[in-house]
Structure formats: structure tokens, C-alpha cells
Amino acid sequence: MALTLSRKAVDNLGVRFRDRVERIGDRGLIQDYRLYRSHDFLSGFENITRAISALSTHVSGRLKRTDTVIRKLRRESSMKLSFMDDIVGFRVLVASPSAQKEVTQMLVDRLTLKTIRNYVDSPQSSGYRGVHLICNVERFFPGNNIATNLTFEIQIRTHFQHIWATTSESMGEQVKEGGGTPDQRKELTTLSEKIRIFETQNPEFVQTSVPKSSGHPVFFVMNYDKLKGRTVMVQSFHGDLERALIHYRYLEDQFSANLNSEIVLLAGSSEEVLKLSHMRYYRPGGRPLSPALDSMR
């Protein structure tokens, strides 16, 4: 999709949403910018799978939802829209902590990085653990013959780290950001510590079966009913990102007033991969089963 916005105009657009003074048509402009970034959705998936093709991993990706982009702009007051790292995001799931280190190093060696955020060695206060790579990608805005660096994010998680993150997401966005009830915080803190101890003592333990992901993505457009806690529609597009984007935007517009509907665009080599990498959309209530760590010694 051709973008008519400059980088300055994109950042000004983000400021209007941050300050809650958006204009008629601004929501469509955010969609236009996000779809412009969709080129990185396809090329990023292919580059990641190519870089780690020798290893067994689950690779998936998603475009950040319009409402989630807006909430992040309002939550992080200094955020510039063109510098938002995770409008395009990928997830690499691995079977063990040792595999996590190996995958991380292979991606560091093969991709152009801006930042490494190691939340395994330095977990977030919420208890989240994982490795995030922020990758640079050169893009040209219309009318500008000088390339500018934009970014996308890769999350690298073990299966147990991913279970923790999905459990947190199932409790609501406020919990993911460090809020929630005392009982929810206690549950997540306890689970995070159990996983940390287990992974430290068992770095080679194979936590789940992880077959190799194909480098050829299938795109999935989903309608997730947050009230019912289940996905009510999945449409797949085999290698056809353009058609997936058209359908994605159509559904976003159709359900923009329905606060219970979450329209999502995901990529993976198969839907079986997504059932692991995005368990929230497949498990009842979005909640995964916690690992029985004490029985795995």
C-alpha cells in the first residue's frame, strides 16, 4: 500500500491520539501507516526463518491492532509513532533455555539490530521473562530519497516463559502492564519464580516438542470474542498478504464499535503453530495450562 504520510506527519498523528485530539479520518491514517509497515511483516518472517532454519523453532508474527497502537501511545507519553518498535512483531518459541541462547545468537549474527532486551537475566518487575530483539529496517517515506530506520520486534521465549506470558495476558492488559489484583500478582510472581528456578537448574530440558517452522507464511485473520473468551472466526490466506490485509482492514472497520471483538492478523507456517505461539486465541478463556514443574526434575 502506498503511504502518503511523511515521518513527521506520522509522528504528529501519534501526538494527536496521545493527546486525545484526533481528527476525523485519523484512525484510517494509523491503519494506512500500519499497513505500509506490513512489508516488514512478510520480509521479516522470511528473514527470521531463514536465519534459524537449521534449528527447531516455532516462528509466528502479528501486526499490532489499531486500538492497541492507540493505547500504547496514550500509555507511553514520550512515544513517537514512527519509533514504536512493535507495530510489526514476531515470536520465536524454543524448547529449552539453551536453545533460547542459541537462537538469540544466530539472529544477532544475521540481522541488523538496534537493541537487545534480555528479560531472562533481568526479568521485568511483573515477572515477565524472555529475550526481545529490536531490529532495524531501512524504509523510504514518500518524497524522501534518504532512507530512514524503522524497527520491528522479535520475542524469543521458551515454552514455559510463554505459558507465563499467556497466563498474564489472559488476566487482562492491566495485569500485563504490572497491575491486577493481589491474588493475580501473587499467582504470576509464584509461577515466574518457579519457572526461573527450574530453567536455571535444567537448561537443556526439552519443555515441549518444537518442529521446524516453514519459511513460507500463511496469514490468518481472526475475530476473537473477548467476552466469550474464544475465537469465533478464522480466515486463512496462503502466502497472499495483500488479500489478508484487505480482509483485515474490512473486519476492523466493521467491528470498530464492538468492544468485545478483537480483530487480529497473524502469520505462521500453519495454524498448528499458532495454537502454540498464540494460545490465547485457542485456549478456553485464553488461559493455558501451567506446567507441573515439580514433576519434571
Can you name the residues that pair with 116 across neighbouring β-strands?
Answer: 133
**Which CATH number fits the domain 7-290, given the four candidates 1.10.230.10, 3.30.70.360, 3.30.460.10, 1.10.3710.10?**
3.30.460.10
pLDDT score at 84: 92
pLDDT score at 294: 65
pLDDT score at 180: 74
Q: Are 268 and 274 in contact (CB under 8 A)?
A: yes
Q: Exposed/middle/buried for 293, CB within 10 Å: 0-12, 13-18, 19+?
A: middle
Residue with cell 493475580: 184
- What is the grid cell recorded at 170? 489472559
Q: Tell me which amino acid residue 7 is.
A: R
Report phi then psi at 251, rounded to 5.
-70, -35
Q: Are 221 and 263 in contact (CB under 8 A)?
A: yes
**Residue 228, Cβ neighbours under 10 Å: how many?**
11
How large is the C-alpha radius of gyration of the chain? 19
Q: Are 131 and 100 in contact (CB under 8 A)?
A: yes
DSSP labels for 260-275? TEEEEEEEESSHHHHH
**Residue 289, Cβ neighbours under 10 Å: how many?**
9
Can you name the residues that pair with 93 across neighbouring β-strands?
Answer: 58, 157
**How much is the pTM?**
0.91
Helix, coil or strand: residue 222:
strand
Residue with cell 538469540: 104
d(CA 295, CA 235): 39
d(CA 225, CA 231): 6
pLDDT score at 69: 92
Nearest to 264 by CA among 89, 92, 139: 89
The tens place of each residue's pLDDT in the chain, 297 residues long, gives 456 778 889 999 999 999 999 999 999 999 889 888 888 888 999 999 999 988 888 999 999 999 889 999 998 989 899 999 999 999 999 999 999 999 999 999 999 999 999 999 999 888 999 999 999 998 888 777 777 889 999 999 999 999 999 988 887 766 666 677 888 888 888 999 999 999 999 999 999 887 776 668 899 999 999 888 888 899 999 988 999 999 999 999 999 888 889 999 999 988 888 988 998 898 887 788 777 676 665
For 271, residues 6+ apart whose C-beta sits below 8 A from its C-beta are: 218, 220, 234, 236
d(CA 125, CA 114): 23
d(CA 271, CA 288): 17
d(CA 38, CA 188): 33
Domain boundaries, the chain: 7-290
pLDDT score at 292: 67
